[in-house]
Amino acid sequence: MTHYRISEAARLVGVSDDTIRRWVADGILPLDHDDAGRQIVPGAALAAHAKTLGGSTAEVGDVQRSARNRFVGLVTKVEIEGLMAQVELQCGPHRVVSLMSSEAARELKLEVGSTGVAVVKATMVIVETDKEPQP
pLDDT digits (tens, 9 = 90+) for 11-54: 888 888 999 999 999 999 999 999 999 999 999 998 888 877 76
Phi, psi (rounded to 5 degrees) for 7: -65, -40
Same domain, 44 and 67: no
Report the pLDDT value the prediction gives residue 57, as an integer from 0 to 100.
Answer: 47
Does residue 135 register a pLDDT over 80? no
Same domain, 69 and 42: no
Report the pLDDT value the prediction gives residue 59, as an integer from 0 to 100.
Answer: 52
End-to-end C-alpha distance for the chain, whole angstroms: 7
Does residue 120 register a pLDDT over 80? yes
Using alpha carbons, select from 118, 126, 66, 68 the residue that is nearest to residue 92. 118
When pLDDT is cut at 50, 70 and 90, the band that residue 56 belongs to is: very low
Task: Express each pLDDT in 57-108 by its tens digit.
Answer: 445 556 666 666 788 888 999 999 999 999 999 887 788 999 999 999 999 9
Report the pLDDT value the prediction gives residue 55, as an integer from 0 to 100.
Answer: 52
User: Cα(133)–Cα(90) distance, rounded to whole angstroms?
Assistant: 29
The residue out of 35, 53, 71 marking a domain boundary is: 53
Same domain, 42 and 71: no
Q: Is there a domain that residue 108 lies in?
A: yes
Same domain, 116 and 79: yes
Number of domains in the chain: 2
Same domain, 41 and 78: no
When pLDDT is cut at 50, 70 and 90, the band that residue 130 belongs to is: confident
SS3 letters for 113-132? CCEEEEEECCCCCCCCCCCC
Same domain, 114 and 67: yes
Same domain, 72 and 107: yes
Residue span of the structural domain in which 114 resides: 63-120
Alpha helices in 1-135 (DSSP H): 6-13, 17-25, 43-53, 102-107
